[in-house]
């Protein structure tokens, strides 16, 4: 793990990330779903803990839409703690004293793995929309190349929430022998119509910003910050629940006794959302937002297997633990149940936990005792079955 002394910006991290970097050059290029075959992919990644002698203790964490590789270290731009420190670290459910944890920025991202903000040596400028459209399968193929590079044949566990969970499912389907255990949280085997709709709103908000300039804003020294902030605000609502918004904000006014009868942020929820929008644009690239949302839209795991999701898992020997949250309306429990039914139909080993919480989709990121206990129990049992020694 590396970190720079001074805070950097989204653009800096895309090309000069505060992470380990490897340039992968697979034979005959990376075969992407869209048909492109780039010869060279840069991957930025973080690792925590040590790989054991028989290389059996590696855990791959897959990050969500706006996540990154900084799972358990301060973020190089925001300086905030890692996004999954409740889950990953010494003594945490994914214990870095025992496991070698890997997390890489996804293909299409903006934190150092090749994405639209990356410098394209062929043209001498950032890719922008010349970057081929990325899918979840493409992301997973790149992760597999990284895992190869690290000399790891089989991952002890692949874990992630939301889009991270999509990658977990894709890993189990694409590399059934390389995944000992799989932990998909708050996710789905295909993106729903409503979720595509919310993504499309976000993309249209970005593209409506005149600073977007058809994706060529890097050269112009501007960024479609207003459009991206609107996209983030809309998305952020979907990460919470009606109930949690009601409890957290209700109709409370922001620093005033009575309404101003204006378009100021009278209500706390407005002020909160505006803050979410304005801080997000500091750390995220607008074109990456287009690419990564699009990857989620295209995700439909069953489609590759004759439309039968169970067929995706026929070769799998993985142990699965599927987790959903009662108040998650973006990836509701029905989606997790469909995954569990398919796993059962394929004869896989699967446990399923629906956690009762009012925190909505973002619950997977929070310090939720039931989630941590579920993960701990699943990891312990899998480690025992895999012959990995207990906590020191």
Residues engaged in binding a copy of itself (CB under 8 A)? 33-35, 129, 132-133, 135, 190-194, 196-198, 200-201, 203-205, 207-210, 226-227, 229-230, 233-234, 237, 240, 242, 245-246, 248-251, 259, 261-263, 265-267, 269-270, 273-274, 277, 290, 294, 297-298, 300, 329, 332
- Give the 3-state DSSP-derived string for 64-115, with helices as H, strands as E and coil as C: CCCCCCCCCCCCCCCCCCCCCCCCEECCCCEECCCCEEEEECCCCCCCCCCC
Least gap, CB of 113 to a copy of itself (angstroms):
19
Q: Can you spell out the DSSP letters for 246-309? A: HHHTTT-BSS-SS--SSSS--BHHHHHHHHHHHHHHHH--HHHHHHHHHHHHH-BGGGGGTT-H
Least gap, CB of 278 to a copy of itself (angstroms):
10
Least gap, CB of 201 to a copy of itself (angstroms):
5
Q: For this structure, is 162 an active site residue? A: yes
Task: Give the whole-angstrom CA distance, residue 282 versus residue 321.
Answer: 35
User: Two tokens at 170?
Assistant: 């894709």
Catalytic residue, candidates 63, 75, 199, 361: 361
Least gap, CB of 323 to a copy of itself (angstroms):
20
Which helix H or strand E contains 233, and what residues bound it?
helix 225-239
Which helix H or strand E contains 61, and what residues bound it?
strand 58-62
Do 97 and 110 contact (CB within 8 A), yes or no?
no
Of the two residues 55 and 248, which places its CB atom closer to a copy of itself in the complex?
248
Q: For this structure, is 285 an active site residue? A: no
Catalytic residue, candidates 162, 316, 324, 327: 162
Catalytic residue, candidates 241, 328, 336, 362: 328
Phi, psi of 325, rounded to the nearest 5 degrees = -125, 140
The residues annotated as belonging to the active site are: 162, 328, 361
């Amino acid at each position: 793990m590396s970190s720079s002394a001074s805070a950097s910006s989204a653009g800096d991290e895309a090309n000069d990330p505060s992470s380990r970097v490897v340039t992968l050059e697979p034979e005959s290029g990376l075969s992407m779903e869209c048909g492109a075959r780039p010869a060279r992919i840069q991957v930025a990644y973080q690792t925590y803990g040590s790989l054991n002698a028989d290389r059996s203790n590696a855990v791959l964490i897959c990050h969500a839409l706006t996540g990154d590789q900084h799972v358990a270290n301060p973020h190089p731009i925001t300086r905030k703690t890692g996004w999954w420190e409740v889950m990953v670290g010494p003594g945490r459910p994914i214990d870095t004293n025992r496991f070698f944890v890997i997390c890489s920025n996804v293909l299409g991202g903006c934190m150092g793995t090749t994405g639209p903000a990356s410098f394209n040596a062929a043209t001498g400028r950032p890719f922008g929309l010349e970057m081929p459209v990325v899918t979840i399968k493409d992301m997973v193929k790149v992760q597999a190349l990284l895992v190869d590079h690290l000399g790891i044949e089989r991952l002890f566990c692949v874990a992630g929430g939301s889009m991270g969970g999509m990658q977990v499912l894709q890993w189990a389907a694409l590399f059934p022998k390389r995944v000992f255990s799989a932990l998909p949280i708050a996710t789905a085997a295909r993106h729903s119509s409503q979720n595509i709709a919310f993504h499309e709103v976000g993309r249209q908000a970005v593209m409506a910003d005149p600073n977007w300039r058809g994706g060529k804003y890097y050269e112009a020294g501007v960024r479609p910050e207003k459009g991206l902030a609107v996209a983030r605000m809309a998305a952020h609502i979907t990460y919470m629940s009606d109930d949690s918004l009601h409890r957290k904000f209700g109709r409370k006014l922001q620093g005033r006794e009575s309404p101003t009868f204006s378009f100021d942020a009278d209500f706390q929820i407005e002020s909160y959302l505006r803050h979410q929008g304005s801080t997000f644009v500091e750390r995220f690239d607008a074109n990456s937002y287009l690419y990564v949302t699009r990857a989620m839209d295209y995700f439909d795991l069953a489609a590759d297997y004759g439309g039968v999701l169970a067929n995706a898992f026929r070769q799998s020997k993985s142990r699965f633990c599927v987790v959903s949250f009662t108040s998650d309306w973006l990836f509701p429990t029905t989606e997790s149940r469909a995954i569990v039914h398919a796993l059962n139909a394929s004869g896989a080993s699967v446990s399923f936990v629906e956690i009762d919480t009012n925190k909505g989709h973002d619950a997977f990121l929070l310090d939720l005792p039931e989630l941590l206990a579920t993960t701990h129990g699943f990891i312990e049992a899998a480690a025992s079955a895999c012959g990995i020694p207990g906590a020191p």
